[in-house]
């Protein structure tokens, strides 16, 4: 979380985008608490789905 906040501090007013797996529910919750919103989900294979989040 500290690294993510540091990046946002270095580039204020930017759009930020990241991705993680649907398996990483704790990470998704953390990103959402920090203001990120899910904007896309893409299956990689039958067992893996990437979730894309953005903060504007």
Going along the chain from its start, the domains and CATH numbers come out as 2-55 (3.30.70)
| Distance, C-alpha 42 to centroid of its chain | 13
**Residue (of 30, 36, 40, 29) closest to 54 by Cα position:** 36
Give backbone dihedrals phi and psi of 44, rounded to 5 degrees, phi first. Answer: -95, -40
Q: What pLDDT is recorded for position 14?
A: 87
Q: Which two tokens stand for residue 54?
A: 């953005």
Q: What pLDDT is recorded for position 19?
A: 97
Q: Which residue shows structure tokens 């007013």?
A: 13
CA angle 9, 12, 16 (to 5 degrees): 90
pLDDT in tens, 1-56: 789 899 999 999 889 999 999 999 999 999 999 999 999 999 999 999 999 999 99
């Amino acid at each position: 979380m500290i690294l993510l906040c540091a990046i946002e501090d270095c580039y204020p007013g930017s759009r930020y985008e990241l991705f993680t797996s649907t398996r990483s529910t704790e990470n998704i919750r953390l990103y959402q608490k920090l203001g990120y919103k899910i904007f896309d989900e893409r299956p990689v294979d039958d067992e893996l789905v990437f979730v894309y989040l953005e903060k504007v």
